[in-house]
Amino acid sequence: MNVMGHGRKAASLAAAAILAIGGVAGCAKEDTGGTTESGVKLVKTGALTTCTHLPYAPFQSKDQSGKVVGFDVALIDLVATKLGVTQEIVDTPFEGIKSGSDLNAGKCDVAAAGMTITDERKKVLDFSDPYFDATQALAVLTGKEVKTLEELVGKRLGVQGGTTGEEYINTQVKEKNLKIEVVSYKDLAALQQALATNQVVAAVNDLPVWNEYIKANPGKVVVATGFDTGEQYGFAVKKGNAELLKNVNEALAASRTDGTYDKIYATWIGEKPAA
Ligand code: GLN
């Protein structure tokens, strides 16, 4: 009994010691952020941490090796290089990105998610200069035809939750009093899957992501019509993070003058539309 008692006590003391060591080591390892040589504060030492919402090809998606690549990734890599650090990408729901809560919580330094600059989002985020022009597009399975939203009355139309495409459709449906069943999916992959499996008759999202989907899945879907929403994408930083924003804008501007932007555009998007 006694021996057992001692044994237990010794074991629990040892466990406490291990916990204590673990605790200390945990504290020492905790990264409270870093500052680049040029004086820009970052949430993690040696890294420019980017929040994004996967998948959103051609702006960000995983390649066959699992690496996140794309148009936005390539542009933010330029910012990271300018700061002398490497980009690290965090995949997180779009809601936390567009609401500013991820940036405010220090989850990342910058948001790069094919995100449209809107007045509402400007209230909670500081946007970079625009880096991409986009419109909304309605895709259907090959062989089907839809030219107007009116043709979708009584049918199911898919959108992606939290996006400008969803907002555009909801506004149209309300204004025109159209009895369309708008179904919201949590991400692009779920929306595309719903369209491919006929759960919705049509799906709305940004035009470049449909173009990319059609390239990757030839013959499956077509863009039936477009809505010229005149959107522009911007990268975002936490409200008030002027130092980082300046670096983002400078890297963007430099890429436009030295031809890097055009190269990245050609790689990920394709031919540039005539200005
Ligand atoms: N451009 C759209 C928006 O900002 C979609 C972005 C996305 O789904 N990643 O809402």
Q: What is the pLDDT of residue 273?
A: 61
Residue 163 CA: nearest ligand 1 atom is 10
Reported residue count of the chain is 275
Determine the 3-state secondary structure of 123 from DSSP: coil
Residue 97 CA: nearest ligand 1 atom is 9
Q: What is the pLDDT of residue 27?
A: 52
What's the mean pLDDT when you consider all of the chain? Answer: 91
- How many angstroms is it from 240 CA to the middle of ligand 1? 23
Residue at token pair 């924003």 = 245
* pLDDT over 50 at 201, yes or no: yes
Determine the 3-state secondary structure of 176 from DSSP: coil
Residue at token pair 């069943």 = 181
Express as a percent the part of the chain with pLDDT over 90. Answer: 84
Ligand 1 atom 8: the closest Cα is on which residue? 163
Task: Compute CA distances 22 → 28, 30, 242, 249, whole Å.
Answer: 10, 12, 38, 42
Q: Are strands 202-206 and 156-160 parallel, antiparallel or unpaired?
A: parallel
- How many angstroms is it from 116 CA to the middle of ligand 1? 6
Binned at pLDDT 50, 70 and 90, residue 29 comes out as low
Angle CA 265–93–264, to nearest 5: 10
By C-alpha distance, which of 134, 145, 133, 116 is closest to 223?
Answer: 145
C-alpha–C-alpha distance, residues 71 and 73, integer Å? 5
- How many angstroms is it from 98 CA to the middle of ligand 1? 9
Residue 166 CA: nearest ligand 1 atom is 10
* pLDDT over 70 at 49, yes or no: yes
**Ligand 1, pocket-test mutation among 53, 94, 102, 135, most atoms within 8 A of CB:** 94
**Ligand 1, pocket-test mutation among 98, 132, 160, 204, most atoms within 8 A of CB:** 160
Bond into 218 cis (ω within 30): no
Query: What tens digit of pLDDT does each residue of 117-155 get?
Result: 999 999 999 999 999 999 999 999 999 999 999 999 999
Residue 109 exposed, middle or buried by CB count within 10 Å (0-12, 13-18, 19+): buried
Residue 167 CA: nearest ligand 1 atom is 10
Residue 160 CA: nearest ligand 1 atom is 8
- How many angstroms is it from 138 CA to the middle of ligand 1? 15
Q: What is the pLDDT of residue 274?
A: 60
Binned at pLDDT 50, 70 and 90, residue 28 comes out as low
- How many angstroms is it from 148 CA to the middle of ligand 1? 22
One-letter amino acid for residue 116 of the chain: T
Query: What tens digit of pLDDT does each residue of 68-109 get?
Result: 999 999 999 999 999 999 999 999 999 999 999 999 999 999
